[in-house]
């Protein structure tokens, strides 16, 4: 896919003119990860990696004829080529000509060393190379673990490893953390039965575990619940993500118990926290602020979940995964994702973040504050003290959501 440009163009301008939220992409120039504050030169090849799907173009007419964006489900990777000596009067070239075409591309030195920067952190106004970005990332994971008292020396914990970028980044970071805080790590991979999507991710997860020497267990909905997400969809049920999420949590919890794991680490990042906060508001479910998808009260049957990436933005998680060997070969996201409310919330948050940088952090921070307030008041009221009459899992009602859903299928 070629875009003719007559001069160099800054990546942020390019993305803006293409109507692509910078929040949702990573950019490779000549095959190397490049901060979006860099310039693309004539003759370079720019490749955009969508680590999350982006909303439709805001002004597709501006670039028609120069950029044909594939439909949402086509692919996560789009190639662009900047051929030399091409003339064009597109909005892109008009925009780019405003940015002093005679000057050389800005060298953007990494803050702490002379290596090429791979990421720009706008909130810190810092350009970082691979080494220093990875170090900063791991430092922040350790700080989150300390702040929320997530781990203790010698514990045997599980990691929910889907094979996607978030869980891969978490696995890699936890292996780094383990160098100074020894603990046992066991990977749990759930096969929900989504052909063409999860099977590829599971292969990826198994490969990573072999490479990293991590014990892995794979469990499937088919074996455990005698059905799959695909089969549930074929029966005409809607909101497949609700079935998928509830049953996955149920299975993770029961298997973690069987494997004597004290906690389950989940790859939720700051964007997920912000999205969850919005979803709770939109669905008028304020008590979910307290639960964050888990029971409020302690129960020996409930294996607590920890989220060491909860304070790190999704884009940085994607960059960390990419820099440390994760390959974005999953093709695209789950075919059911587009029907979920979270999909719309994610896109709108990306747009808000582009227009008002810092939005996600502020929403996540408000969520954390509200969670503490709601959690303390619900504890006082004794909410969530029941156990499911069918399976015995902790539940705020007599029948847990998992058993209710399975009963209705």
Binding flag, residue 171, ligand SF4 (CB under 6 A):
no
Q: Is 345 in the site for ligand SF4 (CB under 6 A)?
A: no
Per CB under 6 A, 36 contacts ligand SF4:
no
Residue 308 in contact with residue 150, Cβ under 8 Å? Answer: yes
Among 129, 309, 334, 406, binds ligand SF4 (CB under 6 A): 334
The binder of 388, among Zn ion, ligand SF4, none, by C-beta within 5 to 8 A per type, is Zn ion
User: Which lies closer to ligand SF4 via its Cβ, residue 272 or residue 311?
Assistant: 272
Pairing of strands 126-128, 215-220: unpaired
Q: Which is nearer to ligand SF4, 245 or 331 (CB)?
A: 245
CA distance 348 to 324: 29
**Interaction partner, residue 214 (ligand SF4, Zn ion, none; CB < 5-8 Å by kind):** none
Q: Which of 241, 287, 297, 370 binds ligand SF4 (CB under 6 A)?
A: 241
**Pairing mode, strands 184-191 and 156-160:** parallel
Nearest-approach distance from CB 245 to ligand SF4, in angstroms: 5
Nearer to Zn ion, 57 or 391 (CB): 391
Strand partners, 78: 48
If one asks whether residue 245 binds ligand SF4 (CB under 6 A), the answer comes out as yes
Radius of gyration of the chain (CA): 23
Greatest Cα-to-Cα distance within the chain, rounded to the nearest angstrom: 73
Residue 176 binds what, of ligand SF4, Zn ion, none (CB under 5 to 8 Å, by partner type)?
none
Question: Smallest distance, Å, CB 375 to ligand SF4?
Answer: 25
Considering the rule CB under 6 A, would residue 175 count as an interface residue with ligand SF4?
no
* No. of helices (H) and no. of strands (E), the chain: 15, 15
> What does 297 bind: ligand SF4, Zn ion, none (CB cut-off 5 to 8 Å by kind)?
none
- The residue within the footprint of ligand SF4, chosen from 118, 337, 345, 363 (CB under 6 A), is 337
Neighbours of 1 (CB within 10 A): 13
Kindly state the smallest distance separating residue 336's Cβ from ligand SF4, in Å: 4
* Residue position matching structure tokens 């094979």: 163
Residue 400 touches which member of ligand SF4, Zn ion, none, C-beta under 5-8 Å by kind: Zn ion
- Report the distance separating Cα 131 and Cα 29, nearest Å: 19
Tokens of 202: 């599971």
The window from 17-25, 28-36, 333-341, 364-372 that contacts ligand SF4 (CB under 6 A) reads: 333-341
Q: Say whether 259 sits in a helix, a strand or coil.
A: coil
Task: Tell me the sheet residues that pair with 260.
Answer: none
Tell whether residue 244 is a contact of ligand SF4 (CB under 6 A): yes
Closest contact distance (angstroms) between CB of 195 and ligand SF4 is 12
CB-CB contact of 84 with 42 (8 Å)? yes
Nearer to Zn ion, 44 or 242 (CB): 242
Nearest 5°: the CA angle 111, 117, 122 is 70
The whole-angstrom distance between residue 366's C-alpha and the CA centroid of its chain comes to 20
E strands along 150-283, which residues? 156-160, 184-191, 215-220, 263-265
- In this complex, which beta carbon is closest to Zn ion, that of residue 281 or of residue 391? 391
Q: Are 168 and 187 in contact (CB under 8 A)?
A: no
Contacts with Zn ion by CB under 5 A lie at 388, 390-391, 393, 400, 403
The yes or no reply on residue 192 touching ligand SF4 (CB under 6 A) is yes
Select from 5-13, 22-30, 66-74, 237-245 the region that touches ligand SF4 (CB under 6 A).
Answer: 237-245
Q: What are phi and psi of 78, to 5 degrees?
A: -120, 135
Give the interface with ligand SF4 as residue ranges (CB under 6 A).
192, 194, 229, 240-241, 244-245, 334, 336-337, 340
């Amino acid at each position: 896919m070629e875009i003719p440009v007559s001069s160099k163009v800054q990546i942020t301008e390019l993305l803006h003119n293409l109507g692509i939220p910078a929040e949702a992409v990573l950019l490779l120039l000549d095959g190397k990860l490049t901060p979006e504050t860099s310039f693309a030169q004539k003759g370079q090849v720019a490749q955009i990696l969508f680590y999350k799907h982006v909303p439709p173009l805001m002004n597709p007419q501006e670039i028609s004829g120069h950029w044909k964006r594939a439909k949402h489900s086509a692919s996560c990777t789009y190639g662009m080529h900047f051929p030399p000596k091409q003339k064009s009067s597109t909005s892109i070239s008009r925009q780019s000509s405003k940015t002093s075409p005679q000057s050389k591309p800005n060298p953007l030195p990494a803050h702490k060393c002379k290596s090429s920067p791979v990421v720009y952190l706008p909130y810190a106004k810092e350009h970082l190379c691979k080494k220093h970005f990875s170090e900063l990332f791991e430092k922040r994971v350790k700080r989150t673990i300390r702040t929320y008292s997530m781990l203790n020396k010698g514990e045997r914990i599980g990691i929910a490893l889907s094979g996607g970028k978030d869980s891969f980044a978490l696995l890699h970071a936890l292996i780094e953390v383990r160098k100074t805080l020894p603990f046992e790590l066991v990977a749990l991979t759930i096969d929900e039965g989504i052909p063409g999507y999860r099977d590829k991710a599971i292969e990826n997860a198994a490969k990573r575990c072999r490479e990293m020497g991590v014990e892995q267990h794979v469990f499937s909905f088919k074996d455990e619940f005698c059905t799959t997400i695909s089969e549930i969809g074929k029966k005409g049920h809607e909101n497949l993500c609700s079935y998928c999420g509830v049953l996955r949590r149920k299975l993770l919890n029961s298997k973690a118990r069987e494997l004597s794991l004290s906690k389950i680490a989940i790859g939720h990042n700051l964007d997920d926290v912000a999205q969850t906060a919005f979803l709770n508001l939109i669905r008028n479910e304020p008590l979910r602020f307290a639960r964050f998808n888990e029971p409020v009260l302690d129960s020996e049957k409930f294996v607590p979940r920890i989220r060491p990436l909860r304070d790190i933005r999704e884009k940085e998680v994607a960059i960390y995964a990419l820099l440390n060997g994760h390959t974005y070969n999953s093709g695209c996201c789950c075919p059911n994702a587009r029907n979920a409310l979270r999909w719309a919330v994610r896109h709108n948050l990306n747009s808000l973040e582009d227009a008002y940088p810092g939005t996600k952090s502020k929403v996540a921070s408000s969520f954390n504050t509200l969670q503490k307030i709601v959690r303390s008041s619900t504890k006082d009221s004794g909410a969530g003290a029941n156990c499911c009459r069918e399976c015995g899992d902790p539940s705020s009602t007599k029948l847990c959501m998992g058993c209710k859903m399975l009963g209705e299928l």
